[in-house]
Structure 1
Amino acid sequence: MERKNLILMIASAGTFVEALDIAIINLTIPSIQEQFGIGAETVQWLQTLYVLFFGGFLIIGGKLSDQVGHRKVFLWGSLIFMLTSLGAGLSTGFETLAVFRALQGLGAAFIMPSAMSIVTHTFKEERERSRAIGIFSSFAAIGSGSGLSLGGIISTYLSWHWVFLINVPVLLITLVFAYRYLPKDEKGKSQKTDLLSGVLLVLGLLSLTYGAHELIHIKEQTYLVIGSLSAAGILLFLVIYRLKSAPEPLIDIHLFRHQSLVVSNMAFVALGAFFIGFLFLISLMLQKDMNHSAASAGLMLVPFSIMSALVAKFILPHVTKRLNSAQMGIFGWIFMLAGAVLLLASVHFGHPLPLVLSGAACISGIGMTFCFTALSVLGIQDVDASGYGVASSLGSTSYFLGAGLGLSFLTLMSQVFPSGNAVGDLSIVILIGYAVFALGMLLYFIIRSVRIRRDEVAVS
């Protein structure tokens, strides 16, 4: 059992670092803008490129994990992430930083599904597996929560370069332990991985995101914007065509016969749009609207990182015993919705600090831990073990697809409907809409599942 727990910690360390990097950059945005002399709409691409490369290559990472080996892909992903973190931290130009930031997403795309597959293959008994996935997923939530506080403190007392360089020693230690303790991959039948579909998917998502981001400039750049959106449509159509016709498709479309996987992925899209949008907005609200320094904002958010860890350690295991994954998802989304409502109220009442921090506590301290864990379990609960890598990467792909498009949509709306504040009502109302959508999907799934069981009982 001790070896199993060590394997769980190694896999969780990998996912912690890639989740940390999603959030850690947010409170460093003003210092990056100041050094390179760029606006918010430009610096936002550092986050968008990361999440789109992450999400776009996740399915390839999951497929390679199933075919080449979980350990091998985890090691390669950790090495890529470590080297690109070093490159980003040493960058002296914005374009170089953006390239390394995108390649960080590629490394993360190999780490996440292989780490999840390592956990699901190590813990095979259902209750034991649910507990392990809960701990693993909570590390992702804790990484996202602690990233905000660490980013603000590091950028103030060191520099923004160190938000990337901090990954290097952590990943070096993870690589050493992973090489030493992760079990060797079983030799299986070698299969081709449909890399072309993965590349088409990434290009399609980038074209779609760029077109959506530049919609506000459609009068000045008509051909560029329409061309980008048209290219996105063609590329994504080609992806769907290849999935149906390729002999070894990137995704087995039969996976989508599982209603639990479909609902989980749709809720993951909303979760990505909500949480990455929240990270972006809370950094602007604390620094621009409330005039706190990056370090001060980071320190104020530290308790929620601790809260997230305590919730994962002491409360999550008890909730998983009493609620199934869909019910736990609703439980988590209620906190996300409450947090967004509190942030909306704070805008109307002049940003009182207790109200702002209460909203952040509901979202990053409590809600995210339950939502990410619940949706991760829901997405694979009906899938065969041989498809865990692809199934888990589908959920993460949906999360980062939602993150990339959701962040671009928030930026577009803030430009179309400017507010007197850095964070206006509309941005938070959009977050509320994401939460309501996810709650509706999960409620629909529960009601439908109850009806199916009732019909089965009636027939028998």
Structure 2
Amino acid sequence: MDRKKLILMVASAGTFVEALDIAIVNLSIPSIQEQFGIGTETVQWLQTLYVLFFGGFLIIGGKLSDQIGRRRIFLLGSLIFMLTSLGAGLSTGFEMLAIFRALQGLGAAFIMPSAMSIVTNTFMDDQERNRAVGIFSSFAAIGSGSGLSLGGIISTYLSWHWVFLINVPVLAVTLILAYYYLPKDEISVKSQKTDLVSGILLVLGLLSLTYGAHELIHIKENTAIVVSSFIATVILLSLLFYRLKSVSQPLIDLSLMKNRPLKLSGLSFVALGAFFIGFLFLISLMLQKDMNHSAASAGLMLVPFSIMSALVAKFVLPHISKRLDSAQMAIFGWSFMLAGALLLLTSVYIGHPLPLVLLGAACISGIGMTFCFTAQSVLGVQDIQPSDYGIASSVGSTSYFLGAGIGLSFMTLISRIFPSEWAVGNLSLFILIGYAMIALVMLCYFIFKNIKIGESEVAVS
């Protein structure tokens, strides 16, 4: 196999596993509750802690991959993820499981930006990079989409322990291949300094924000805690902003945030995280609660869309990327996301016909996510220097998981305020449609501004 292709496969395997674990726990929750005798409010922390640590440490993971080395951070993140997956799978108490689940998020936060940086530094030609990022992103999309499938099947026919243990052999092989085949880091560690204070402020600020968003649904019972969480977020992030402007080697170069494509990519990833993680949550409820399918049956129904995502990435995406730029391709992907949400909404009104529900899922998980994730990843690094690829890619990933946490909390809050006869009411799907519309408006405005800027430059010349 060509060395570049092998590097791409190794990096993609790492991001597949971390994306898989976002969704794989969902259909195993009843089994975990039964074994430990805990309620829904308690077991939800398995997902929350993973997202908190993942989103909170992503920027640090990206910065360290730029400073210490992409290969070193990828190996470290993969090792952490493998060992914590083993610990989670062997856990005998819920507290132990929750700790290992949080540390899985830490490992994932090191894997994601370093893997993306490895890909963007290995494939430098624009068309070659688009295709490589497309394959890489499809593994993330496949991992997210297939998490529900595998989680339902494993929890039904094996046990919830294997939801975590399945990661161990995959990551063991990935570590061996990464050690021997990933390019060596050419970075002088002595000449680099890591702004740890800014890193701590960032992590605490994001953790506080995500915790507040998660607990927003309980604001009546815990008003002081929720409000304090948001106040702490403002204070911590204000201190972070002040420090980033004042230190000589900041964690994040604020001049990067002036890059319009990077800003658009980050905002679009917020919408994508809110939409896709919300979709994974809703499709699980719709198939099991509203349509009375078992966890295994629901999982098997979603398997074809993971395969579809891989096929789209390999055979369709390269042709589309030759004809559309990254912003246009993102609009193309979001159009499928919007169409899928509209199909799911229609199904609520006409009795949940299975073909219509699965067609909506195919538009979102099988097609739309692949194009959106790829296009927005490429958009975020298109005007960035190679030395900043790690931090740039981590901005997108952080935005994605912050969007996931805040968006899902908002959707849950609204569904509690306005309950429905169905587990998945029409209001939740209207919220998904809203996320898609916001992303489409931002992308269209970006393209319009670029056209106006181009016309101005032509007029001046």
* TM-score between the two structures when normalised by the length of structure 2: 0.97
Structure 1's 450 and 406: CA in aligned 2 closer, same or farther, altered over 3 A? same
Aligned to 1:393: 394
Moved more, 230-239 or 60-69: 230-239
SS at match of 2:191: coil
1:46 shift after superposition: 1.8
Aligned to 1:152: 152
**Cα distance between partner residues in 2 of 1:443 and 1:405:** 24
Does the 8 A contact of 2:141 with 2:369 survive in 1? yes
1:155 shift after superposition: 0.8
Structure 1's 39 and 340: CA in aligned 2 closer, same or farther, altered over 3 A? farther
Q: Given residue 101 of structure 1, which amino acid in structure 2 is its aligned partner?
A: R
1:152-186 deviation per Cα after TM superposition (whole angstroms, max 9, x unaligned): 11110001111110000000000011111112111
SS at match of 1:214: helix
Aligned to 1:45: 45
Aligned to 2:182: 182
Does the 8 A contact of 2:217 with 2:412 survive in 1? no
Moved more, 288-297 or 37-46: 37-46
Aligned to 1:85: 85
Q: Given residue 169 of structure 2, which amino acid in structure 1 is its aligned partner?
A: P
Does the 8 A contact of 1:48 with 1:407 survive in 2? no
Q: Is 1:450 aligned to residue 455 of structure 2? A: no
1:33 shift after superposition: 2.9
**Cα distance between partner residues in 2 of 1:64 and 1:220:** 40
The within-5 A match list for 1:136-175 is 136-175=136-175
Q: Given residue 261 of structure 2, which amino acid in structure 1 is its aligned partner?
A: S
Structure 1's 266 and 168: CA in aligned 2 closer, same or farther, altered over 3 A? same
Aligned to 1:348: 349
1:395 shift after superposition: 0.6
1:197 shift after superposition: 2.2
Does the 8 A contact of 1:194 with 1:248 survive in 2? yes
1:403-422 deviation per Cα after TM superposition (whole angstroms, max 9, x unaligned): 11112222222222222222
Aligned to 2:428: 427
Q: Given residue 187 of structure 2, which amino acid in structure 1 is its aligned partner?
A: K
Moved more, 324-333 or 92-101: 92-101
1:2-25 deviation per Cα after TM superposition (whole angstroms, max 9, x unaligned): 111111111111111111111212
Q: Given residue 200 of structure 1, which amino acid in structure 2 is its aligned partner?
A: L
**Cα distance between partner residues in 2 of 1:426 and 1:258:** 35
Q: Given residue 97 of structure 2, which amino acid in structure 1 is its aligned partner?
A: L
* TM-score between the two structures when normalised by the length of structure 1: 0.97
Q: Given residue 19 of structure 1, which amino acid in structure 2 is its aligned partner?
A: A
Does the 8 A contact of 1:209 with 1:408 survive in 2? no
1:102 shift after superposition: 1.3
**Cα distance between partner residues in 2 of 1:77 and 1:37:** 32
**Cα distance between partner residues in 1 of 2:303 and 2:37:** 29
**Cα distance between partner residues in 2 of 1:297 and 1:334:** 25
**Cα distance between partner residues in 1 of 2:316 and 2:164:** 32
SS at match of 1:319: helix
Structure 1's 127 and 216: CA in aligned 2 closer, same or farther, altered over 3 A? closer
**Cα distance between partner residues in 2 of 1:187 and 1:267:** 32
Aligned to 1:261: 262
Moved more, 28-37 or 448-457: 28-37
SS at match of 2:352: coil
Aligned to 1:307: 308
Aligned to 1:110: 110
Does the 8 A contact of 1:41 with 1:411 survive in 2? no
1:351 shift after superposition: 1.5
Aligned to 1:217: 218
**Cα distance between partner residues in 1 of 2:287 and 2:187:** 52
Q: Is 1:250 aligned to residue 262 of structure 2? A: no
The within-5 A match list for 1:22-37 is 22-37=22-37
**Cα distance between partner residues in 2 of 1:277 and 1:247:** 40
Moved more, 240-249 or 398-407: 240-249
Number of residues of Structure 1 aligned to a counterpart in Structure 2 = 460
Q: CA RMSD in A?
A: 1.5
Aligned to 1:440: 441
**Cα distance between partner residues in 2 of 1:35 and 1:345:** 38
1:272-321 deviation per Cα after TM superposition (whole angstroms, max 9, x unaligned): 01101111111111111111111000001111111111111110111011
1:255 shift after superposition: 0.6
